Amino acid sequence: MTKSPKEYISNHRVEYEAPQSTGYLCVEVLPFLKGRKWDEVALAYVHSLRPSCIRVVNGIQVGFSTDDAITWRVTVVIGGGRITNIEQEVEVGLPEGVVHGDALKCALKYGLKSRQVKWHQDATGYTFGSGKIGMCKFTAKSNKAIPFPR
């Protein structure tokens, strides 16, 4: 069984225990570099993340960057030579009832026991509609698109 958050409270250290279930998502990192020039100093801080690789894209090209997933890759978005955002693709431990990284984002925003987190549990696939429709899921029981709860 994975340790609870309270079990990591210590004056020195507690041995890390890998989670039983994992997922993937992107998290914003190094927010203090936003607005700074993309230069050797910024690159030095990016190296502190121990990235598997580094991708730097011009803000107008973000939609044209590859849509693959490379764990620990850092993406630096620049505009006019200045940093507008930095994200890292990461592996995360998943609490019970959270089925993947996007559901973990819902747990952060709406709460671990929220209907938004539970909505993901029986999904077999997703689609993204336009306008007010937004994200929908498909389940084994229904071949209709079920909208994300607001």
The whole-chain average pLDDT of the chain stands at 91
Residue 6 lies in a domain: no
Res. 2: pLDDT tops 80: no
In-domain check, residue 16: no
Across residues 25-33, what is the average pLDDT?
97
CA-closest candidate to residue 62, choices 48, 79, 38, 45: 79
pTM: 0.83
Q: 148 lies in a domain?
A: no
pLDDT > 90: what percent of the chain?
73
Full residue range of the structural domain in which residue 68 is found: 22-92
* Residues 6+ positions from 57 with CB-CB distance below 8 Å: 64, 65, 75, 76, 77, 78
CA–CA gap between residue 86 and residue 59 (Å, rounded):
11
Walk across the sheet containing 54-58 and list its strands: 22-28, 82-93, 74-79, 54-58
The total domain count for the chain is 1
pLDDT tens, position by position, 62-112: 555 666 889 999 999 999 999 999 999 999 999 999 999 999 999 999 999
In a domain, 137, yes or no: no
Q: What distance in Å separates the CA atoms of residue 9 and residue 28, rounded to the nearest whole number?
A: 25
In a domain, 27, yes or no: yes
Give yes or no for a contact between 115 and 106, defined as CB atoms under 8 angstroms apart.
no
- At residue 92, the pLDDT reads 96
Q: Flag whether 100 is in a domain.
A: no
Instruction: Report the CATH number that the domain containing residue 82 is assigned in CATH.
Output: 3.30.10.10
